[in-house]
Amino acid sequence: MTHSNPTEQATPEGQAAGVHFIHTRLKKEIEAGQVDRVITRFPPEPNGFLHIGHAKAIVLNFSMADTFGGYTNLRFDDTNPAKEEQRYIEAIKEDVRWLGYTWQNECYASDYFDTLYEYALHLIDAGLAYVDGQDAEVIKAQRGTLTEPGIPSPDRDRAVDENRALFERMRAGEFEDGAYVLRAKIDMAAPNINLRDPVLYRIRRQHHYRTGDQWCIYPTYDFTHGQSDAIEHITHSLCSLEFEDHRPLYDWFINHLPVPARPQQIEFARLNIDFTVLSKRRLTRLVDEGHVDGWDDPRMPTIAGLRRRGFTPQSIQNFCHEIGVTKAESVIPFGVLERNLRDDLNVRAERRMAVLKPLKVVLTNFDAEQPEYATLPNHPQDPSLGERQVPITKTLYIEQDDFMEDAPKKFFRLKPGGEVRLRGAFIVRCDEVIHNSEGQVVELRCSFDPESRSGLPGAERKVKGTIHWVSAEHAVPANVHLYDRLFNVPHPAKDKAVDFVTHINPDSVEHCGGAMVEPSLADWPAQTPVQFERLGYFIPDINSLPGKPVFNRAVTLRDTWAKLEKALRAQGT
């Protein structure tokens, strides 16, 4: 990316990208000379995996810094040792990298513990913080309610020396967990509850994944975040809307502490997508309770899950630009994410043929002893991707869905007595339908029209439908996983009275164990999306083996027939 004029930035859809209220505001600040470049940070807490909502924040932070000549730090907000783990650090770094971003500095709030401690002392000395010896419950009760002011703690007016001594003893480990807490002395009657003497430090004998047992007191988020921003000389601290109420507190610390810079916080609406959940708490539950197979389950909206599902970094970036950045809370249809994947893959994924649910077809007039070969382009619009030979033999497999004995008029695929083109090969006619003892269709006897072979003049002959196929003799058995939305209601967490897991879609995954794929798919390269013609975009699963392929379906192709069929069915035709 370059520092181009925003109107020159465009997504593949031609939509202006990156022009939103934050962009506008930063541009003005630059022009007014208030800042000379924009330095941002992406500040995850290492207590879980990143999800698509984080991607929005990542794209925003990196693109703003990039647009305005600065850089972005990756900072782990690790002030709560009870929840944080090293493995999440690794996963987060991998996800950010995979999305296509390179951070300037890898930072940890825990690296600032010494400085933060000094800042706390500074506040104490200034008479702006005090040590409170009351229980958490008592402090909570004294905080008041939304409509009633809080009442001051009896410890609120403790002498500075005494506060200092107590705080030092807190650090020295002289007290039990929870015995004391350091609080800012602001305003117990403030209408903004965050200003009612918030807790700055708590005693917690917890092994920290990075600082070990060096500390038994840990700073809270409020006392950590802004100061960390200042220490790193972050110019703009972009965060989600729920921190709006914290901004006065953020500024209060910056104003009362000898920090090296004056960062400013700007809030934007977090991402919501329908038919899924996007909170770390809920995603953690899905993993911990075994509703999914882990953080990287392809049904998960995590970056790791989307990656395994077959999403591309580019499609996620495009999605984030397309949805924009505002302060209005919105819910984006899951289909928007899927369409961005299709748009990205349509132009660059190679095409192959695969049959998910095979139906045997015997070409009665195909007498060649040796297989013949059809030449198919690897991409219909991009000849540079080359072509390949696909074997044709007397016995083929086609998709069960591509044959109907009792077909409606609009059904353009195979039916008894009807004709279809086998993609890249020739036109076949269904002469006979063979059933098993239960009446199921198990085999089709067809004859092909030799004149209609691709490349021959007879190929000009038009038939309504074209279907995909594989040679039975050459096809490679494969396992294919089809994924659907994880929840069967648009807003699983909407009703607080109902546990969201009750809305999990029991049919969110379908396994096609008997799929048959064309030979070139036998050892398809990992991490490489491919289009199975007429079916969708797929990617080898991490458990895929050469000769024993396993594919995940990332997304189907747009399917107007499915819609039409549904409409016809609704009319009763």
Size of the site for RNA (CB under 7 A): 96
Q: Which is nearer to RNA, 248 or 547 (CB)?
A: 248
Find, among 84, 52, 67, 69, the residue nearest to 18 by Cα: 67
Distance of alpha carbon 214 from alpha carbon 196, whole angstroms: 30
The verdict on 95 binding RNA (CB under 7 A) reads: no
The string of DSSP letters for 489-557 reads SS-TTS-TTS-GGGGB-TTSEEEEEEEEE-GGGTTPPTT--EEETTTEEEEE-TT-BTTB-EEEEEEEP
Q: Which residues ranging from 442 to 461 are in contact with RNA (CB under 7 A)?
A: 452-455, 459
CA-to-CA dists, residue 73 to 89, 107, 456, angstroms:
14, 7, 61
- Residue 280 annotated as catalytic: yes
Among 37, 87, 327, 548, indicate the residue that binds RNA (CB under 7 A): 327
- Restricting to residues 282-321, which ones interact with RNA according to CB under 7 A? none
8-state DSSP, 212:
B
Which CB sits closer to RNA, 225 or 297? 225
Contact assessment for residue 108 and residue 75, using Cβ atoms and an 8 Å cutoff: yes
Q: Which of the stretches 8-16, 156-164, 250-258, 442-450 binds RNA when contact is defined by CB under 7 A? A: 8-16
Q: Which of 152, 335, 416, 514 binds RNA (CB under 7 A)?
A: 335
Among the listed residues 225, 317, 294, the one whose alpha carbon sits nearest the alpha carbon of residue 87 = 294
Per-position x/- string for 350-379, each x denoting binding to RNA as judged by CB under 7 A, each - no binding? -x---------------------------x
Q: Which of 452, 440, 375 is nearest to 405 (CA)?
A: 440
Applying CB under 7 A, among 5, 32, 33, 147 the residue interacting with RNA is 147
The reply on whether position 569 binds RNA by CB under 7 A is: no
Shortest Cβ distance from residue 25 to RNA (Å)? 10
**210/558 with CB nearer RNA:** 558
Among 98-106, 188-196, 384-392, 434-442, which window interacts with RNA (CB under 7 A)? 188-196
524, 540 contact by CB (below 8 A):
yes
Q: What's the order of all strands across the beta sheet hosting 199-203?
A: 129-132, 181-184, 199-203, 217-219
Q: What is the DSSP string of 289-310?
A: TTSSSSTT-TTS-BHHHHHHHT
* 434 touching RNA, by CB under 7 A: no
User: How far is it, in rounded angstroms, from Cα 467 to Cα 412?
Assistant: 10
Considering only residues 21 to 40 of the shown chain, the ones binding RNA according to CB under 7 A are 21, 24
Residues 241, 52: Cα–Cα separation, whole Å: 17
Annotated catalytic residue within 27, 29, 45, 282 = 45
Angular region, 386: left φ>0, alpha ψ -120 to 50, beta rest = left
Helices assigned H by DSSP within 196-311: 221-231, 247-256, 280-288, 303-309
Among 1, 146, 497, 570, binds RNA (CB under 7 A): 146
415 is catalytic: no
Question: Does residue 485 bind RNA (CB under 7 A)?
Answer: no
CA nearest 511: which of 541, 488, 534, 537?
A: 541
Single-letter residue type at 511? H
Which residue matches tokens 């010494």?
Answer: 114
Could you say whether residue 206 binds RNA (CB under 7 A)?
Answer: no
27 to 32, 415, 547: CA distances (angstroms) = 9, 62, 54
Could you tell me the smallest distance in angstroms from the CB atom of residue 77 to RNA? 3
Q: Which of 194, 264, 265, 312 binds RNA (CB under 7 A)?
A: 194
Report the site for RNA in 207-246 (rule: CB under 7 A).
Answer: 218, 220-222, 224-225, 241-246
Regarding 45 and contact with RNA (CB under 7 A), the answer is yes
Closest by CA to 47, choosing from 238, 288, 319, is 288
CB of 455 to RNA, least distance (A): 6
In sequence order, the β-bridge partners of residue 132 are 181
State which residue, 1 or 146, has the beta carbon closest to RNA. 146
The answer to whether residue 465 forms part of the interface with RNA (CB under 7 A) is: yes
Nearer to RNA, 202 or 297 (CB): 202
* Binding residues for RNA restricted to 496-535, rule: CB under 7 A: 531, 533-534
Q: Which of 25, 156, 210, 270 is catalytic?
A: 270
Q: Is 491 in the site for RNA (CB under 7 A)?
A: no
Smallest separation (angstroms) from RNA to the CB of 269: 6
Shortest Å, Cβ 293 to RNA: 26
Candidate segments 62-70, 116-124, 135-143, 308-316, binder of RNA by CB under 7 A: 135-143
- Report, as residue numbers or ranges, the catalytic residues: 45, 270, 280
